[in-house]
Amino acid sequence: MRIAGIDLEVHDQGKGEPLLFLHSAQGFDSRHEISTMLAARRRLVAPSHPGFGKSSLPDWLDSADDVAYVYLELMDALKLPTADLVGCSIGGWIAAEMASKAPERFRKLVLVGPVGVKTGPLDKLDIPDIFAMPQDKVDELLFADPAKMKMDPSKMTDDEIAVRVRNRETLALLAWEPWMHNPKLRHRLQRAAMPVLLMRGEKDGLVSGAYLERYAQLFPHANIRTIAGAGHAPQAEQPKAFAEALFAFLEAK
């Protein structure tokens, strides 16, 4: 779709109430098990962030805040006045930005291992610098079972490898300075008064339990759910447990 002058790759599948799903730095893959699970119960709308996947990246876009406005325009183009909103990692950051700007458009908000706010001491990083360590160390922070989730370039096509590299490059653009947060966002989240669920894998080495608790306190109505046997991406490592927790929250009256 052409949105705000951006050629935006959008996965749109399934029927029912719309679920807007914002992916992590690993990108979105419709072949993954969690995609099938979500689309089986909802209309799943999952865009690739500008600069990720096959979405183009305009010169003017350089922040998660910018992406939030693009996705609000995407909702207009798709004629989605309201939706449930789920964001993972940097997608959680974008989702939080969206919920603070247009809270009336989101029935419920789910943030999975989200970044985006600074909650700890100014002289320490809340989120480890993944660009300053070898990939094996990053994998240990990302996954409960790094060996199982390890990427094997020999089994990937050239296009798949190019997408991975491009995703990483765009992540650096959006999150480098200030590192993994928007200083203004924490002062806006009181506007997001819808029910909020913050989820975290119990072995997440990037988003600590203490960070998530401080994040939750910035919302008027937020709860926390921990997924066993998962790291930073419970939707990938424990898709069934993730889907059960997600729908239990979304479908609760």
Name the domain count of the chain. 1
Using CB atoms within 10 Å of the CB of residue 97, give its burial: 0 to 12 exposed, 13 to 18 middle, 19+ buried. Answer: buried
For residue range 80-92, list pLDDT tens digits in order.
999 999 999 999 9
Give me the count of residues in the chain. 253
CATH of the domain at 141: 3.40.50.1820
Structure tokens at 240: 């069934």
What mean pLDDT is reported for the chain?
96
**At 177, is the pLDDT very low, low, confident or very high (cuts 50, 70, 90)?**
very high
Provide the residue range defining the domain that includes 209.
Answer: 2-250
Instruction: Look at residues 10, 248, 224 and name the one whose alpha carbon lies nearest to residue 112.
Output: 224
In the predicted model, is pLDDT for residue 235 greater than 90? yes
**At 123, is the pLDDT very low, low, confident or very high (cuts 50, 70, 90)?**
very high
In the predicted model, is pLDDT for residue 125 greater than 90? yes
- Distant-in-sequence, close-in-space partners of 191: CB < 8 Å, separation ≥ 6: 99, 100, 101, 103
Structure tokens at 77: 């183009």
**At 155, is the pLDDT very low, low, confident or very high (cuts 50, 70, 90)?**
confident
